[in-house]
Structure 1
Amino acid sequence: MKISFVLSVCFSLLAFGSCYSSNGYDPLETALKVQRSKRSVEGYVMTKNVKADNTFSPVYVGPQDGLKDVDKITTLPGQPAGAGFDQYSGYVTVDPNHGRALFYYLTESPANSSTNPLVLWLNGGPGCSSFGNGAMMELGPFRVNADSVTLSHNKYAWNNVANVLFLESPAGVGFSYSNTTQDYITGDEQTAKDSYTFLINWLERFPEYKTRDFYITGESYAGHYVPQLAQLILQNNKVTNQTVINLKGIALGNAYVDDETENTGMFDYFWTHAIISDEIHSGIISNCNFSENATITDKCDDYVGQAYGAKSNIYFYDIYAPLCSPFSNSTPSISEFDPCTENYILQYLNTPAVQQSLHAKPVQWESCNGFINANWQDMPFTVLPVIKDLMASGISVWIYSGDTDGRVPVTTSRYSIDKLQTPVQTSWYPWMYEEEVGGYAVGYQNLTFVTIRGAGHFVPSYQPARGLAFFSSFLQGKLP
């Protein structure tokens, strides 16, 4: 099997979006190429999802007294006046022997914070920051302005309807760290275990949330993180004598959940959106087999390479948006999202006063950790069996998709849902927002699928109003 594998020097130099657009770095594809190359090694067995054996060893719980007050943020540098809500950030130790600690940022609701649910947000990568990408670029209460010094208020922030907890996971991502360098060689299983340990400790620090309705949301490679963590929570809830987490539902955005559908869905999307030619698409269809045990031939690899070359000057994550360039200010995105936002965030979060206000260790913050990404150890070919288990558990399971994303496009999500073989209960229909089509929705048995029209990979960035409308429906458990 031939797989071309190139690592970009932009890993530690530039933010995720600008790094991709200028140098071709795609963190998800980089990690997938590592995993696919392993399959060519004789005797290699792809990691499987393993069911629990109904045993439980209590996780580490450290002393939390007084740490909530220490973590309270007085104000962020450049923050606009009149925020009207509390915010906290700091570290939760998950392994004292290794010195492994995960960084979090909590933004409470400006109204009804004492009764609103708690929502955990996870960005993917693997290896990308939930705080810098998720909170500061997507659904958090503030956006970084072009001066990289001041912030503006995001009126469509998700903390309008929930208390939102952003977790930098695994260790080595964003501000999270370990004193044991070997911990930076990690994978799905350890990430789920550490995230669970984080939650148990965090709930001791914030005990008022112990009985609150709890949801997990995320995008991209969080299509692995979210269902695996949810499964672990439900399994441990049955056998633990520690805190029982009141998990009510999950939402997966433009999520990588199955390697076969990711490939077929992406190349079909390229073709139907005029990014690749009929000849390239036909070559992929004729020569590529993306199923789990198939061999990738030289011919297939050649056509795939042509497809990737064809989209090289397109912002992969929102195919109709401009790239970040000196001309960006004169070429606004369709969704009015500044394509250089990642650069502003990078500079802001590397300002010493900002790191001090966040109670973060002084570090060179980066949007995605390339070392973690390139050394990811375990990655199931598919997490659809986990999602099926969650659907059967009775919690709410939603999959949502911005329809201008080329990285994990809407076709990929639809093909993945087809594999779940769950019957339709509410047929495909347009949902409305401010008298326009906000997207489309289908209600399946134990599953809801929603598209957000005009949104790319980072739904709350490109369509913040429609994104909040979708999110509110998810929390209410009602089709939009």
Structure 2
Amino acid sequence: MFWPKIFIVAANMNMNVILSVHFLCFFLLTTSFIKTYGINVGANESDRIVDLPGVPSSPSVSHFSGYITVNEDHGRALFYWFFEAQSEPSKKPLLLWLNGGPGCSSVGYGAAIEIGPLLVNKNGEGLNFNPYSWNQEANLLFVESPVGVGFSYTNTSSDLTILEDNFVAEDAYNFLVNWLQRFPQFKSRGFFISGESYGGHYIPQLAELIFDRNKDKNKYPFINLKGFIVGNPETEDYYDYKGLLEYAWSHAVISDQQYDKAKQVCDFKQFQWSNECNKAMNEVFQDYSEIDIYNIYAPKCRLNSTSAIASEGLEQLTKGRNDYRMKRKRIFGGYDPCYSTYAEKYFNRIDVQSSFHVNTERGNTNITWEVCNNSILQTYNFSVFSILPIYTKLIKGGLKIWIYSGDADGRVPVIGTRYCVEALGLPLKSSWRSWYLDNQVGGRIVEYEGLTYVTVRGAGHLVPLNKPKEALSLIHSFLAGDRLPTRR
């Protein structure tokens, strides 16, 4: 409204004055715009990745990485890797991906071997473009959570001894709030959460925290949460372990005698297992150690890994870690020793860490990066038995919720997840049926009022790794609202 008056006056001044007035007007308008809309112009440009080693020359990828502080008093910061959508990023939703473990990296798994546009190649020396990346459908955000995972850190060592689900959810929430300050163009964008394995705890709990705090807009910033999708998720210990045992027996991994013994001595409804149950389940996992529990029909990896996780995964489980913290046996979710080797080789390169801005934040020293932090698994406080009440709450709250299962996964098998879904007691919307891709059965789908459950045929624990084309079809259907094809 005040521009015309200024330029009338300016017309009678010399050129220097005109330019000064013009600059002043631009400054005032820009400042007002920033204050009004909270836009921090250029705040994220320092996080842009411009020289990541091994990136293919085409197509071009717009991506960012860095640290977001989640607790200033303790010096806690989470590391992220963000990819803009391949096309129309200003119109596509924002999709957060979280891996589980607990203790496994979303950068090392989700971004680098599953759904990101740049996948670590099989010698760990570079990156390949992923033609089935989920950033065809959304702007992709990967976060290494909790602190102690990957490049994420805390300056207060005692934080690592008190990690549990609520702690992780609070830090993830603070990460989102602060990340959206750095990338304000996504504040009003539709926001979804995705992930797998112990992300079956992280994701619904984070969604619940956002859902609750969105009700108090005077105290908390609004996050435009639309829904979440979880793959092979740990959901309730009773059904998950009941399903694990039944799957091992029904897929000829264990004998009838082992199955009968474990059923007799194990009460999976108890948070702490008896010594007899631990012994019986140790035998189950010992048989699984001969094959790949995460994909029972895949060849077992024979690479020698420098990762402590690769050498200790199932071995740790069968040593009887039966101390006061943990009376049930735990094993990483989302662990693949071959791909761990490739990822660790790449992300431990000094030039890679420099491109990721890791050295800028933590000093000019090389950080030892692991795809999974074994100490977190051993010290994590498993305090939440069931996530099902959160599902009930958020379904009533109107969020879009999907669950999917690779049906060749022995770690969080389809049987246990089906038990969990059925336990919700939801009205049936459309019955169990096949869905198709390229004239072949991609899996099965069943729709309930408020929840959709999908299986992916022949996929293991990491569905996008084993069946990338099917996984892309799945996420397109979830985000776009297009139904998975149920006819050839």
Structure with max Cα Rg: 2
Specify which structure has the bigger relative contact order, considering alpha-carbon pairs within 8 angstroms and separated by 6 or more residues.
Answer: 1
Matched with 1:467 is 471
Contact 1:119 1:215 (8 Å CA) reproduced? yes
Q: CA RMSD in A?
A: 1.9
In 2, Cα distance between equivalents of 1:416 and 1:253: 13
**Could you tell me the TM-score, scaled by structure 2's length?**
0.81
Matched with 2:92 is 116
In 2, Cα distance between equivalents of 1:161 and 1:359: 27
Matched with 1:33 is none
Contact 1:92 1:202 (8 Å CA) reproduced? yes
Cα deviation 1:440-471 (Å, max 9, x = unaligned): 00001100000011111011100000011011
Matched with 2:205 is 228
Deviation at 1:279, TM superposition (A): 1.2
1:75-474 matches, within 5 Å, as: 75-185=51-161, 186-241=163-218, 242-292=220-270, 296-325=273-302, 340-361=338-359, 362-474=366-478
Deviation at 1:430, TM superposition (A): 0.4
Amino acid at match of 2:115: L
- Say which SS state the counterpart of residue 318 (structure 1) adopts: coil
- Say which SS state the counterpart of residue 314 (structure 1) adopts: coil
Deviation at 1:214, TM superposition (A): 0.4
Deviation at 1:423, TM superposition (A): 1.8
- Say which SS state the counterpart of residue 340 (structure 1) adopts: helix
In 1, Cα distance between equivalents of 2:89 and 2:398: 26
In 2, Cα distance between equivalents of 1:67 and 1:342: 33
Deviation at 1:300, TM superposition (A): 2.9
Contact 2:43 2:183 (8 Å CA) reproduced? no
Deviation at 1:286, TM superposition (A): 2.4
In 1, Cα distance between equivalents of 2:167 and 2:404: 26
In 1, Cα distance between equivalents of 2:302 and 2:249: 26
Gaps of 5+ in 2: 1-37, 305-335, 360-365
Deviation at 1:373, TM superposition (A): 1.7
Cα deviation 1:301-345 (Å, max 9, x = unaligned): 332222111111111111111122269xxxxxxxxxx97222111
Contact 2:197 2:412 (8 Å CA) reproduced? yes
Cα deviation 1:270-289 (Å, max 9, x = unaligned): 11111011111112222221
Q: 1:297 to 1:194 in 2, by over 3 A?
A: closer
Contact 1:230 1:247 (8 Å CA) reproduced? yes
- Say which SS state the counterpart of residue 94 (structure 1) adopts: strand
- Say which SS state the counterpart of residue 238 (structure 1) adopts: coil
Q: 1:435 to 1:312 in 2, by over 3 A?
A: same
Cα deviation 1:148-172 (Å, max 9, x = unaligned): 2121111001001110100111111
Deviation at 1:76, TM superposition (A): 1.7
Contact 2:39 2:184 (8 Å CA) reproduced? no
In 1, Cα distance between equivalents of 2:303 and 2:208: 46
In 2, Cα distance between equivalents of 1:282 and 1:64: 62
In 1, Cα distance between equivalents of 2:39 and 2:369: 27
Amino acid at match of 2:174: T
Q: 1:370 to 1:63 in 2, by over 3 A?
A: farther
Aligned residues: 409
Cα deviation 1:410-458 (Å, max 9, x = unaligned): 0111011121111211000100001000110000110000001111101
**Could you tell me the TM-score, scaled by structure 1's length?**
0.82
Q: More deviation in 282-291 or 223-232?
A: 282-291
- Say which SS state the counterpart of residue 107 (structure 2) adopts: helix
In 2, Cα distance between equivalents of 1:179 and 1:288: 41
- Say which SS state the counterpart of residue 402 (structure 2) adopts: strand
- Say which SS state the counterpart of residue 172 (structure 1) adopts: coil
Deviation at 1:66, TM superposition (A): 4.2
In 1, Cα distance between equivalents of 2:286 and 2:263: 17
Cα deviation 1:324-372 (Å, max 9, x = unaligned): 2269xxxxxxxxxx97222111100000000111111431000111222
In 1, Cα distance between equivalents of 2:40 and 2:296: 45
Q: More deviation in 80-89 or 448-457?
A: 80-89
In 2, Cα distance between equivalents of 1:115 and 1:85: 17
Gaps of 5+ in 1: 1-61, 328-337
Deviation at 1:387, TM superposition (A): 1.2
Deviation at 1:87, TM superposition (A): 0.3
In 2, Cα distance between equivalents of 1:208 and 1:174: 27
- Say which SS state the counterpart of residue 430 (structure 1) adopts: strand
